Amino acid sequence: MTSLRRRVLGTHPGKDAVAGLVLGVQSVPDGLATGLLAGINPLSGLYGYLVGTAGGALLTSSTFMAVQGTGAMAMVVADVPGLRDSSDGSRALVTLTVLTGVAMLVAGLLKLGALLRFVSNAVMVGFINAVGVNIVLGQLANLTGYSAEGANRLVRALNTVIHPGRLDGRSLAIGVATALLIVMLERTRLGALGMVVAVIATSAFTHWADWSTVATLRDLGVVADSLPSPELPLLRMVPVLIVPAVSLAFVGLVQGAGISANFPNPDGSYPDASRDFVGQGTANLASGVLRGMPVGGSVSASALNKEAGARSRRSLVVATVVMAVVIVAFGDAVGSLAMPALAGLLMLIGVRTIKPGDLQSVWKTGTVQKAVLGVTFVLTLVVPLQYAVLVGVGLSIVLHVVRQSNQVTVRRRVPDEHGHFVETDPPSELPAHEVVLLQPYGSLFFAAAPTFEAALPAVGSGSAASVVLLRLRGRSDLGTTFMDVLRRYGESLQAVGSKLVIVSAGELITDQLQVNGVTDVIGADNVVPGNERVGATVRQAYADALVWVEEHR
C-alpha cells in the first residue's frame, strides 16, 4: 500500500499539480474533438480521456504515460460500422472498447511487447502520415457546414471542393480562425493552453454574434452534466468487432511502445512495454464499461505532461480530477463549443501529423521500402482503417521475410601459409580433389533456403573426390526446408564420388539431421559435433578431409 501511494503521489506535489491542471484542462476540448473525429458522441471521447488517464496513472509502468484517445485510433473507430446506429450504437462502442482492452491485456500478459520490433518503419510512416491526411479530409464537413456524399473521404473531399456554393461561410471562418489563433497563442506564455483559449474564444464569438448557422455540440444533443454511468457490452456484436478491436489494439500498443522507449521514468529506468500493455488494456476495459472510446498511450499528451513539469504519477491523477470537475461543473459551457472550432483544432493536428521528412527518408531507403510505404499510404486513404492496419502488419512480416532471405551469404575459408583461415568467395563450381570449407552468414530459416542453395558450389562431372565442409557453429534450429537443401546437396556430391561433412553441429542440429534423413545420406561419421574450443573442430575436420581426398585420388 505504501509503495502504491508513493507511486501515485510522488515527491513534487506543486509541479505535479500544475502539470495535471494543464493536461486536464487541455484534455477536455481535445477529448471532445477526438470523439468528434471518431464519428461518435463527443462525450465518449471525453469519457475515454477521463477513465484512460486514471488507468494509466495507476496501472502502467511508465510514470508519464497519458492513456487517452489518439488521432489514429479515432480514425479506425470512424470506419467501424454500427457505432452510429441509434438503437445499439452506444453499446456497440462499449463492446468495441472492451474488446480492444482484452486484446491489449492478452498482449501484455503474454509479453508480446518484443513483437512490435517486427513492424516495419515504412509501414508505420505510411500509416501515420495517411492518418494525418484522413483527419484533415474527415473534418471538412464540420469545418464547412456541408456534409458531402461519397464512398470514402477522398470522394467526399472532392465533392466539397466542387460545390463551393454549398459551404457555410460563417462555419468556415470560425474553423480557420480557431486554427490560426491556436498557432499564435501557442507561441505565447499560454503554450499548450492556447488551444483551449482559442476554442473557447471562437465559440464565445459565435454565441455573441448569434451565428445560428454555426453548429455546436449542443446541436448534436451533447449534454455534459454528469460523470459516465456503467453500460454493458452487446455480446452479439463481438464477432463483427473483433477485427477492428485487434487493429485498434495494435495501433494503440505501437504508439504506447514509443512512449515506453522514449520517456524514461524519474529514476532513469525505462518502462516495461509489456506491463504498459496490461495497463492500457485494463484502462480500456474500464473506459468501455463507462461508455468511453478506445484509448492508448498518447505521445502528444505524455509529452505535454512531462513538459508541463510532471515529476510523478500525481500529475495524471490531478488531470483526471480536473476533467471530472469540468464535466460536472461546466457541462453547459461544454455544449456551447462550436463544432467548426473543434474541426479547426483537429485539422491542425492532422496537418502536424504529416511528416514530409519521414516520408522522404523512407522513400530514399530503397525500392522495397518505397513499395511498402506507397501501398500502406494508399490503402489507409481508400479502405477502412481496421483493414489497412492489418494489411500493414502483413506487409511488415513479408518485408522482414524478404530482408532476411536476401541477407544470406556463403564464404569459403582457406588456410594461409601460417595455418590461419582467411575468407574468400566460394567457387561457382566445385573442383575435383579439393577441400572446400564453407561458412554461411545470415538467417537460414525456410525462406532463405533457396538463396543459400544458390550460393553453394555447383556439382558437376568435374567435381569428383572432393569434400565440402559446412560449418554450422552457433546454429540452433534450421527447419525442414533447409534440411531438404542439405539432403539434395549431399546426394549430388555422392553421385560424383564426393561427400558433404557437417562441422560443429549442435545437439539440436544433429537431431534434426537424423530426423530429416540427412544423416542417412551423408553418413553419421560426417556429422561432426562442436565443442567449447572455437576452431578446433574445424581444423581437425579440414585435416581429415585432406587425408580423405588424397586417398580417393
In this prediction, what percent of the chain has a pLDDT beyond 90?
36
What integer pLDDT is reported at residue 114 of this predicted model? 66
> How many H helices and E strands in the chain?
24, 8
What integer pLDDT is reported at residue 1 of this predicted model? 46
164's enclosing H/E stretch is none
DSSP single-letter state for residue 203: H
8 A C-beta contact, residue 47 and residue 287 = yes
List of domains in the chain: 2-401 (no CATH), 409-551 (3.30.750.24)
What pTM, to 2 d.p., does this model score?
0.73
Residue 73 makes CB contacts below 8 A (sequence gap 6+) with: 38, 248, 251, 252, 293, 294, 295, 296
Residue 322 makes CB contacts below 8 A (sequence gap 6+) with: 20, 21, 23, 24, 25, 27
What integer pLDDT is reported at residue 474 of this predicted model? 81
Which of 4-11's residues contact partners 24+ apart within 8 Å by CB, and which partners? Answer: 4/58, 7/312, 7/313, 8/57, 8/58, 8/312, 8/313, 8/314, 8/317, 9/312, 9/313, 9/314, 10/311, 10/312, 10/313, 10/314, 11/311, 11/312
Average pLDDT on 257-270 reads: 81
What integer pLDDT is reported at residue 266 of this predicted model? 87
Could you give the C-alpha distances from 445 to 214, 236, 403, 408, 475, in angstroms and in order? Answer: 61, 42, 12, 10, 11
Each residue's pLDDT tens digit, 339-383: 999 999 989 988 988 999 989 998 988 777 888 888 889 988 888
Task: Give alpha helix (H) positions in 139-237.
Answer: 140-144, 153-161, 169-185, 193-209
What integer pLDDT is reported at residue 307 of this predicted model? 83
pLDDT higher for 174 or 531? 174
Distance CA 527, CA 470 (A): 10
Least confident interval from 229-238, 249-258, 430-439? 249-258
8 A C-beta contact, residue 475 and residue 511 = no
Number of C-alpha atoms within 13 angstroms, CB side, residue 104?
37
Each residue's pLDDT tens digit, 5-15: 555 444 556 78
Q: Are strands 467-471 and 435-441 parallel, antiparallel or unpaired?
A: parallel
